[in-house]
Amino acid sequence: NAAMPANFIEVIINEDNKTGKYGNRVHTRFPPEPNGYLHIGHAKSICLNFGLALKYGGKCNLRFDDTNPTKEDVEYVDSIQEDVRWLGFDWDDRKFYASDYFEKIYELTLELIKKGKAYVCDLSAGEMREYRGTLTEPGKESPYRNRSVAENLSLFEKMRLGEFPEGSRVLRAKIDMSSPNLNMRDPVLYRIIRAPHHRTGDTWCIYPMYDYAHPISDSLEGVTHSICTLEFADHRPLYDWTLEALEIYKCQQIEFARLNLTNTIMSKRYLRRLVEENYVSGWDDPRMPTISGLRRRGYTPEAIRDFCDRIGVAKSNSTVDIALLEHCIREDLNTKAPRVMAVLKPLKIIIDNYPDGQVEEMTAENNPENPEMGSRTLPFTRELYIEQDDFMENPPKKYFRLTPGAEVRLKHAYIIKCEHVIKDEQTGEIVEVHCTYDPDTKSGSGTVNRKVKGVLHWVSAAHAAKAEVRLYDYLLTAQQDQEEEAKDFVDTLNPDSLEVLTACLVEPSIKTAQPGSRFQFMRQGYFVVDRDSTADLPVFSRIVSLKDSWAK
């Protein structure tokens, strides 16, 4: 959005362009690890990185950070590409994998060892932790720290050749065991992992650490501004050290605040648990904050991009109210989604003075906010269904829906009046509401200007289609901030996050709507046709209700 004031990253880029630091080049990257599906937090990073490239006429790479073979899979590589494309971004021919650089990183590492800046260390993981020290105590140097270059080269070579068991040795940077920054206390650069990699197979049994592979990948790709989340601020000295020590092209790391959202969790680790422990139906369960979940839920890419624009780019962490995301989809669908009628919990209405067998085609505009969407016809008959909640035998004050003796308007049709009810003799439940209609009150006829407060949605009993409707609530009952994520989030799962209604009736026009089609069900919210729909039973998922709780 060109009209928005520059965010702090744009301020940095503008300054760099002024000084010619990168020769007016802007080159970013989005670097997901293919170990899960992308979530709305990643969408923020995607919009930011690809957005900056678009704004400055630069480039943005899609790079898979695939340096940990034990957790990664092609399934995730594929889903990530689908999600980035669906959001509306394109990497053209700039798709890369950190694993493409394994050989290059290995060669650079040999140089690093030759410079005396890295050594093979035989301490166990536990010992290394002990030697590392704490924030208040300096670390201790490893007894292997002063191995000769020749010995290090030979041992590293043997690590690569698979001569040592997993976990027995690592390659470490030789930096400073008394640095106040724990990340600089001789961090591990390479570890032995005996697991097939989804791209390189069994070629490697040593893998570079993220903190080491990342700056090298950025550098090799000519990235100018390497944008990551705040947790990595403490890693920046290592990022810079790596580029300096290897004497390769220097890019700069810039940290911004990660997106946190109320009532959901946003970490692949926890999202995977939801999937694996069957709390949800999959990564694309419509309750999931994943891009694929939001897509299935009926969110549009436009709404997600708008959301990312509105939350902006900050330097300190905060939690965004999920109501803002909901506001964005309502705004987008307001003029896009046709307004139709669906009865979720049906109650039968019989209009005693309407001729039996008569079918009247009522004209209904598809969207009063968007006249271009035209109109359709709705069959009106003697037997109809309305919502159970829209009738009360003994109403409280200010109940403007249908009650005995009272009048309401049936949307796009007539004013009706309730005459009497018929109850089930055993249960006492109301099974039929008998009404009369006033033929002079047909919608759009302009003949009678009689005011009634209630306007109800309805469907014709003979024409309505059966449907299943799925209503969603938040996954978590409480706000989950990052600290809380450490606790067991399962305790805060909302047990009522899914409600399935199987006896719904929808107007005939949407009976065969294609999966992915979106509608506003009058007075009920926005809905999307789910892929679980069959020819006999369409399935609609509620995207969001109509009530906007976002305080502007």
Site residues, Mg ion (CB under 5 A): 33
Closest of 283, 290, 383, 307 to residue 343, by C-alpha: 383
Q: Which is nearer to ligand ATP, 48 or 341 (CB)?
A: 48
- Positions touching ligand ATP (CB under 6 A) are 31-33, 41-42, 44-45, 65, 228-229, 258-259, 266-269
- Could you tell which of Mg ion, ligand ATP, none binds residue 32, using a CB distance below 5 to 8 A set by kind? ligand ATP
One-letter amino acid at 322 equals I
Q: Which residue has the tokens 């999959």?
A: 282
Partner whose footprint covers residue 513, from ligand ATP, Mg ion, none (CB < 5 to 8 Å by kind): none
Give the residue closest to ligand ATP by C-beta.
41
Single out the residue of 182, 243, 238 nearest to residue 218, CA to CA: 243
**Residue 258 binding: pick among Mg ion, ligand ATP, none (C-beta 5-8 Å cut-off by kind):** ligand ATP
Note every long-range contact of 414-419, with CB atoms under 8 Å and residues 24 or more positions apart, other chains counting.
414/380, 414/438, 414/439, 414/441, 414/442, 414/443, 415/441, 415/450, 415/452, 416/349, 416/351, 418/391, 419/352
User: Is 268 known to be catalytic?
Assistant: yes
Nearer to Mg ion, 480 or 533 (CB): 480
Nearest distance from C-beta of residue 550 to ligand ATP, angstroms: 20
CB of 155 to ligand ATP, least distance (A): 30
Catalytic hit among 191, 258, 297, 305: 258
- CA 270 – CA 276 distance, rounded (Å): 10
Largest separation between any pair of C-alpha atoms in the chain: 102
Residue carrying the six token digits 């990948």? 217
Residue 216 or residue 228: which is nearer to ligand ATP going by CB?
Answer: 228
| 534 annotated ligand binder | no
Number of residues in the chain: 552
Residue partners of 356: CB distance under 8 A and separation at least 6: 382
Active-site choice (10, 21, 33, 417): 33
Annotated binding residue 175:
no
Cβ closer to ligand ATP: 29 or 339?
A: 29
CB of 232 to ligand ATP, least distance (A): 7
Q: How far is the CB of 64 from ligand ATP (least distance, A)?
A: 9
Query: Which of ligand ATP, Mg ion, none lies near 296, with the C-beta cut-off 5 to 8 A by kind?
Result: none
Active site residue 258: yes
Q: Which two tokens mark 545?
A: 């209700």
* 3-state class (DSSP) for residue 492: helix
43 is in an annotated binding site: yes
- Proportion of the chain in helix, strand, coil states, percent, rounded to 5: 30, 25, 45
Q: Does 45 belong to an annotated binding site?
A: yes
Of 29, 63, 132, 268, catalytic: 268
Which of Mg ion, ligand ATP, none does residue 441 bind to, with CB < 5 to 8 Å depending on kind?
A: none
Rg for the chain, CA atoms, rounded: 31
CA distances (Å), origin 103, targets 100, 206, 460: 8, 11, 69
Write out the binding residues for L-glutamine: 65, 210
Write out the binding residues for ATP: 33-35, 39-45, 229, 258-259, 266-268
Residues labelled catalytic? 33, 258, 268
Write out the binding residues: 33-35, 39-45, 65, 210, 229, 258-259, 266-268
